[in-house]
């Protein structure tokens, strides 16, 4: 994190840095000590003697914290992402050992629709993390499955965080349930803001990102999350924005199944719609208008397509009758 903090620090400064800014990092110190200083000795011990190897194994077994494996982390554009995400891992209870980027504006495109395509129905916790033009890094953690709704959704495990230039975790207070807001279905008859929000009230969110994912707002106080600065300014420009999935392979499988079920339902509705059109096509106004416009060939071609579908269904029904008669 040398681009954010004035490293290197002496031992006294380092102790103060961890104890003051990162009280939860203590769980990870044993891991870092093992990884940085003891791993090579353990490998040497395995080659030299069983007794020394046993000492190394004892150290390894006593570790209470192992950071998650960040899959494809090179695709992330968040500066010092490994350090920052490991810091977050110290503050939450997570069961899956692999985290990965499920949305990145630089890869999938910068818009709310692109983001929702990637994260909807993901069956695990997620981290929305972004950086602004001033070098601030902040975001939100939630365990709720992302869906569009013109209202807040409750998630008492959610929290807001700031990672740079200062570290802060702002957990749910329990006094209010305005935790998560995402709405991406603009409707002229329903006047709700399109974008992503956390805390506060509608149109005055604690943390807000617009539908273009390029601008946002941040406030210090709300009744849903603990008090503190998430972003450094009330209005900010989003430089990098990503969503990390923390649910492992199981969460991805759930997402794929949900998408497959939706695609199947859409296809089913298309077939039903074609059959309904076919029933009144010859005498209906649609064919009459197309004939007047000189598009008779197009209308007949459409009708032929619909007739094929009906014939196929009749054949399926006939086969079912034969099986029942047997």
Residue 260 has pLDDT above 60, yes or no: yes
Whole-angstrom Cα distance, residue 113 to residue 103? 11
pTM of the model: 0.68
Instruction: Please tell me whether residues 62 and 89 are part of one structural domain.
Output: no
The domain tally of the chain equals: 3
Query: How high does pLDDT run on average in the chain?
Result: 77
Instruction: Please tell me whether residues 86 and 231 are part of one structural domain.
Output: yes
Instruction: Please tell me whether residues 201 and 314 are part of one structural domain.
Output: no
Strand 215-218 relative to strand 235-245, pairing:
antiparallel
Residue 42 has pLDDT above 70, yes or no: no
Give the pLDDT of residue 21.
45
Instruction: Please tell me whether residues 101 and 113 are part of one structural domain.
Output: yes
Instruction: Among 66, 89, 120, identify where a domain stops.
Output: 66
Give the pLDDT of residue 94.
67
Q: Could you tell me the two tokens for 59?
A: 């150290």
Chain center to CA of 214: 17
Q: What is the mean pLDDT of residues 246-269?
A: 88
pLDDT band of residue 132 (cuts 50, 70, 90) is very high
pLDDT band of residue 280 (cuts 50, 70, 90) is low
Instruction: With CA atoms as reference, report the closest residue to 94 among 146, 28, 162, 13.
Output: 28
Strand 149-153 relative to strand 137-142, pairing:
unpaired
Residue 58 has pLDDT above 50, yes or no: no
Instruction: Please tell me whether residues 1 and 85 are part of one structural domain.
Output: no
Instruction: Please tell me whether residues 113 and 39 are part of one structural domain.
Output: no
Whole-angstrom Cα distance, residue 126 to residue 143? 6
Instruction: Among 222, 252, 282, identify where a domain stops.
Output: 252
- Domain that includes residue 8, residue range: 1-66
Residue 179 has pLDDT above 80, yes or no: yes
Q: 244 versus 314: which is more confidently predicted?
A: 244
Instruction: Please tell me whether residues 95 and 231 are part of one structural domain.
Output: yes
The Cβ of residue 182 has, within 10 Å, a number of other Cβ atoms equal to 23
Instruction: Among 252, 275, 290, identify where a domain stops.
Output: 252
Instruction: Please tell me whether residues 246 and 264 are part of one structural domain.
Output: no
Instruction: Please tell me whether residues 168 and 271 are part of one structural domain.
Output: no
Instruction: Please tell me whether residues 185 and 245 are part of one structural domain.
Output: yes
Residue 294, SS3 per DSSP: coil
The Cβ of residue 89 has, within 10 Å, a number of other Cβ atoms equal to 21
Q: 258 versus 323: which is more confidently predicted?
A: 258
Instruction: Please tell me whether residues 144 and 225 are part of one structural domain.
Output: yes
Whole-angstrom Cα distance, residue 316 to residue 318? 5
Instruction: Please tell me whether residues 142 and 288 are part of one structural domain.
Output: no
Q: 193 versus 97: which is more confidently predicted?
A: 193
Give the pLDDT of residue 291.
63
Residue 210 has pLDDT above 50, yes or no: yes
Which residue in this structure is represented by tokens 């090579």?
Answer: 40
């Amino acid at each position: 994190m040398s681009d954010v903090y004035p490293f290197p620090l002496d031992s006294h400064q380092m102790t103060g840095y961890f104890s003051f800014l990162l009280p939860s990092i203590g769980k990870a110190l044993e891991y870092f000590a093992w990884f940085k200083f003891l791993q090579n000795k353990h490998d040497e011990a395995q080659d030299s003697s069983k007794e020394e190897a046993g000492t190394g194994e004892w150290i390894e077994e006593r570790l209470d914290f192992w950071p998650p494996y960040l899959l494809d982390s090179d695709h992330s554009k968040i500066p010092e992402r490994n350090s920052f995400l490991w810091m977050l891992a110290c503050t939450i209870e997570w069961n899956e050992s692999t985290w990965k980027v499920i949305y990145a504006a630089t890869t999938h495109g910068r818009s709310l629709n692109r983001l929702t395509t990637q994260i909807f129905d993901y069956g695990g916790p997620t981290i929305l993390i972004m950086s602004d033009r001033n070098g601030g890094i902040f975001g939100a953690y939630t365990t709720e499955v992302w869906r569009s709704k013109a209202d807040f959704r409750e998630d008492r495990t959610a929290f807001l965080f700031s990672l740079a230039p200062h570290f802060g975790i702002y957990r749910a207070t329990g006094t209010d349930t305005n935790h998560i807001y995402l709405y991406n279905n603009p409707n002229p008859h329903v006047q709700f803001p399109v974008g992503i929000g956390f805390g506060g009230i509608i149109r005055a969110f604690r943390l807000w990102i617009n539908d273009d994912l390029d601008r946002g707002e941040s406030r210090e106080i709300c009744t849903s999350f603990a008090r503190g600065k998430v972003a450094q300014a009330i209005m900010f420009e989003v430089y990098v924005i990503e969503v990390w999935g923390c649910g492992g392979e199981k969460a991805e499988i759930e997402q794929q199944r949900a998408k497959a079920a939706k695609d199947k339902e859409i296809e089913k509705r298309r077939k039903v719609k074609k059959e309904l059109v076919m029933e009144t096509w010859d005498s209906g106004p649609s064919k009459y208008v197309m004939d007047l416009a000189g598009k008779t060939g197009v209308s007949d071609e459409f009708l032929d397509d619909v007739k094929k579908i009906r014939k196929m269904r009749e054949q399926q029904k006939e086969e079912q009758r034969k099986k029942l008669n047997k």
